[in-house]
Structure 1
Amino acid sequence: MNIDGQAEFERTGNTYLRVRDCLHVMSKQPYVERYWYEQVSGKDLANSRTVFDILIEQGYLEEKEPVTVDVWNRETRSHDKVIQPSYHLTSKAYALVNASAAKPVHRATADKALAGFLERVEQAATDPMNLWVVDRVVLFGSMLDPTRERVSDVDLAVKLVRNGAVYESAGGHELAGPVLLAELRGNRHSSGYRGDIGVMKFLKNRSRVLSLAALSDDGAIAGLPPETTPHRVVYERPREK
């Protein structure tokens, strides 16, 4: 899916790119509620409350069960417990999360990018400094249509798993936590080990053609149900005998 990233999103004063990035942050949460949205993912948007309402009205967010939220009370300088509806992203939202604002590329360019990605998958599998390795990769999106000479990008959903003996010998959870924190800050941990963020960064290799998303344990492809999302498996990690 391609979008005009600089086009205005539903007359809210925000570009599609800014709303897409906001939804991307939201997609990492098991659910979202309005207070968290206003404090975190939507805090830099213009007319953020209006955007949230439109995301609900236009079918990007689906209301689920109510949750108890700790809301800061400026007058009492303490948290009040408030019940608010929770929301899950819909397939329409995930489609926007994974949308590309880049210009379409020739299929030959996309094929070359995919081949390079798969080579890096193999390299990552044998790198003793990776705490995580690729377990499975599926291709979805415009590249599945063989009649298209130009494609929006190379859409790949990637499932990572712990790198077995390497993970444990490196210190297990005791090291994985600090590695994750370092990578969240945009750094590599002083130990030299890569966590899941670092591995994904290595796999992407700064390519503008590759669009990497998560392949979840239940098979969801970038949050989309596999039963209704056309896809093709392009890599599976060899199973130990």
Structure 2
Amino acid sequence: MRLTRKQTICDIPILKIRDYFDHIRPALISPEMISEQFDLNKEKTKELIDVLLSEGYIESAKKKGKYQLTIKGQALCVARYTNPLNKEKADKLFQEFMERVEEINSNEFYLYRVSKIVLFGSYIDPEKTDYSDIDIAFELSRKAKSHEEFMEMDEQRIKEAELAGKSFPSFFDQIGYTERVVLLKMKNKCRYISLHRMYDGILNITKTKQVYP
């Protein structure tokens, strides 16, 4: 999830709502807190809460009259600001992403293959003409046929990295190194590519589109 400066909820900049959510989490939210934070009367407070509920940012908590952040609300807390993408640019970035996926899957250097890709968010909304980012959920699987073969290749890649000048301050820094190499290749330092694991809860509450395989 990425945000633009023009986005608002009930005329309140979404960046302000994001900052407030991030500041108070994981505390429960009350109408009084909302009213005080955004200087709203009772009617406007109810309107804002109703919209936050309907858009899935908050949900009713077990404690009466209180609300808590949903998975989407938690995602908003860490959302970043970027300039919007037009469709041409977004399509180009996604095409380049898929080319990197093909390279990962065909190059023996990478010990994992990208076995599944699912899109969600604004990029698959047919009514959108510009996008805040490209939300991509992915699944990785090992290329090796056995655990023993994978561990042998994993150790080899770590040794190759050390010979190339990379340092691993501790054993824990070595764990997952070959997977991180794949993630870095997928991301390619592109701030508009937002990567998510297939077990990300956001996939359960939003429309998705599987595009690979």
Q: Percent identity?
A: 27
Higher RCO (CA 8 Å, separation ≥ 6 residues): 2
Q: Determine whether 1:55 maps to 2:26.
A: yes
Change (3 A) 1:174 1:111: closer
2:180 is aligned with what amino acid? Answer: I
Change (3 A) 1:166 1:151: farther
**Which of 152, 157, 160 in structure 1 is aligned with 2:132?**
152
Distance 2:146 2:109 in 1: 8
Is the 1:142–1:152 Cα contact (8 Å) retained in structure 2? yes
Distance 1:144 1:160 in 2: 22
Q: Report the Cα offset of residue 194 of structure 1.
A: 5.8
**Which of 99, 106, 110 in structure 2 is aligned with 1:130?**
110
Matches within 5 A, 1:1-241: 1-3=1-3, 7=16, 9-10=19-20, 19=22, 51=23, 54-58=25-29, 90-96=70-76, 99-165=79-145, 168-172=148-152, 175=155, 179=158, 195-216=178-199, 222-226=200-204, 228-236=205-213
Residue matched to 1:39: none
Is the 2:114–2:138 Cα contact (8 Å) retained in structure 1? yes
Q: RMSD across aligned C-alpha pairs, in angstroms?
A: 3.9
Residue matched to 2:10: none
Per the normalisation by structure 1, the TM-score is 0.53
Q: Which runs of 5+ in 2 are unaligned?
A: 6-13, 30-56, 62-68, 169-173
Per the normalisation by structure 2, the TM-score is 0.59
Which has the higher Rg, Structure 1 or Structure 2? 2
1:86-142 CA-to-partner distances (Å, cap 9, x unmatched) read: xxx842344326734111111110011111111111110111121222111100000
1:235 is aligned with what amino acid? Answer: Y
| Equivalent pairs, count | 159
2:206 is aligned with what amino acid? Answer: T
1:146 is aligned with what amino acid? Answer: P
Bigger fraction of residues in helix:
2
Q: Which runs of 5+ in 1 are unaligned?
A: 11-15, 20-50, 64-88, 217-221, 237-241
Change (3 A) 1:62 1:206: farther
